[in-house]
């Protein structure tokens, strides 16, 4: 649990505000974020990188709320995007297009045009076909596209297979063995300018050894390119540093950065990092209310008003999130399956959780700041949750709860 979420006299608070007060004002389900936690995470990176030319590009896919993007933009962050929509969010939030790197395997012509018009820092190109398309699009606009190749180092990130991205069977990046040839090809294309190399091996990594193995392979590639006269301005080592959800022991940000800097000793290239989850994961919680307690022969169910459409990670990855009562109450403690109201057996928030609760008790699902709201949906015609940011004693609604009429406003009945 983040230090910014703590019990005070039996009430779970975010910074100086009781979560029960937020639920009373904005209802549930509701995502709640700590501005102090967001700021603290970013500053841990920037402090650890002092004295080294660098750019911290927040991975927008982790949580794309405009208020969160604006907090990072004001701290000086760049942004790692994977769609044209994310670029438009960054710009709307006050982000600097000149600090944006554009990743993703399926960039469309329209997305390329949008990014070239905005003047982004770099396209992280993920295939030979994309290289050709980007050259054509940039040429049609009278522009030169800055590029790096996302190189797949075939390093096992030792994480969940759905979020491992650096193995040769993954869809991401270009094969390590083909990278030099592709850089040679890029150097001949008139509307591309080679600026760097990119590597990202996966998400929720809890040890530094896979990162260092990837760095070593990337540096060997950088040296091979230099021998051919292709000199790079930056090395982008991606993101992926994990957080503690349950009993994981990921390295501290300072230790992770120190390990990377040690591996890069003597190198002059600018270092680009793309942290996402580690900046926002433990800065957010999902508030939910118990609707019913349903005893069963084999299991007891706590049916809450949040569901898999609000927080997909448990259903998608069998992911663990700590669940705590918002108010410590004098009820009998029992083991519960914490489940939502969606018509799917996979709709659960947590298995076998020991909780002392009653109907209408409030629960906080912790570590929900990353891949919570950004992966949420309207399955079962459920409006998406409100989002709130707390700044000290101040509470700000940063996204209104959707309404059902909004969900079908764009639909038409045919005659």
Binding-site residues, please?
Answer: 240, 274-277, 313, 317, 344, 371
Buried b (16+ CB within 10 A) or exposed e, 305-319: bbbbbbbbbbbeeeb
The answer to whether the Cα torsion of 260, 73, 91, 162 is positive or negative is positive
Determine the Cα–Cα distance for residues 380 and 77; give it in Å rounded to an integer.
37
Where is the binding site for substrate, in residues?
A: 277, 313, 317, 344, 371
Residue stretches of the annotated binding site for pyridoxal 5'-phosphate:
240, 274-277, 371
DSSP 247: S
- The dihedral through the CA atoms of 118, 120, 126, 127 has a sign that is positive
**Nearest CA to 354 among 325, 390, 385, 387?**
325
The single residue listed with the structure tokens 């590009």 is: 57
Structure tokens at 130: 């994309």
Is 199 noted as a catalytic residue in this protein?
Answer: no
Query: In the sheet where 5-8 sits, what is the strand order?
Result: 5-8, 11-14, 17-18
Check if the beta carbon of residue 64 is closer than 8 Å to that of residue 399: no
Residue of 382, 379, 375, 414 lying closest to 401 (CA atoms): 382
Reading phi first (left if > 0) and then psi (alpha if -120 to 50, else beta), residue 158 is in left
- Active-site option among 13, 122, 199, 343: 343
Residues with a catalytic annotation lie at 343
């Amino acid at each position: 649990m983040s230090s910014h979420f703590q019990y005070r006299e039996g009430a779970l608070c975010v910074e100086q505000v009781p979560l029960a007060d937020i639920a009373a004002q904005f209802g549930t389900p509701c995502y709640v974020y700590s501005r102090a936690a967001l700021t603290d995470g970013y500053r841990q990176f920037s402090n650890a990188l002092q004295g080294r030319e660098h750019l911290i590009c927040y991975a927008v896919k982790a949580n794309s709320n405009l208020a969160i993007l604006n907090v990072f933009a004001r701290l000086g962050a760049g942004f790692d995007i994977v769609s044209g929509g994310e670029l438009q969010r960054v710009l709307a939030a006050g982000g600097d297009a000149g600090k944006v790197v554009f990743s993703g395997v399926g960039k469309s012509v329209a997305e390329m045009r949008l990014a070239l018009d905005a003047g982004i820092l770099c396209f992280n190109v993920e295939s030979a076909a994309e290289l050709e398309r980007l050259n054509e699009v940039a040429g049609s606009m009278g522009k030169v596209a800055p590029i790096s190749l996302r190189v797949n180092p075939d390093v096992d990130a030792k994480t969940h297979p759905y979020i491992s991205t650096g193995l040769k069977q993954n869809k991401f990046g270009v094969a390590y063995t083909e990278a030099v040839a592709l850089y040679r090809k890029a150097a001949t294309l008139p509307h591309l300018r080679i600026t760097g190399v990119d590597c990202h091996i996966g998400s929720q990594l809890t040890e530094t050894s896979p990162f260092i193995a990837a760095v070593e392979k990337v540096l060997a590639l950088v040296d091979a390119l230099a021998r051919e006269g292709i000199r790079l301005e930056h090395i982008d080592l991606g993101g992926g540093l994990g957080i503690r959800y349950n009993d994981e022991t990921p390295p501290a940000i300072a230790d992770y950065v120190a390990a990377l800097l040690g591996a890069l000793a003597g190198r002059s290239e600018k270092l680009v990092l793309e942290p996402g989850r580690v900046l926002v994961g433990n800065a957010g919680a999902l508030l939910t209310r118990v609707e019913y307690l349903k005893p069963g022969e084999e299991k007891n169910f706590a049916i809450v008003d949040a569901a898999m459409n609000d927080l997909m990670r448990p259903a998608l990855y069998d992911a663990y999130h700590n669940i705590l009562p918002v108010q410590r109450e004098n009820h009998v403690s029992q083991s519960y399956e914490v489940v939502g109201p969606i018509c799917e057996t996979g709709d659960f928030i947590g298995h076998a959780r020991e909780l002392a609760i009653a109907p209408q008790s409030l629960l906080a699902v912790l570590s929900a700041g990353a891949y919570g709201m950004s992966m949420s949906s309207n399955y079962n015609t459920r409006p998406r949750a409100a989002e709130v940011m707390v700044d000290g004693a101040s509470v700000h609604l940063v996204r209104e709860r959707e309404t059902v009429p909004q969900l079908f406003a764009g639909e038409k009945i045919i005659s």
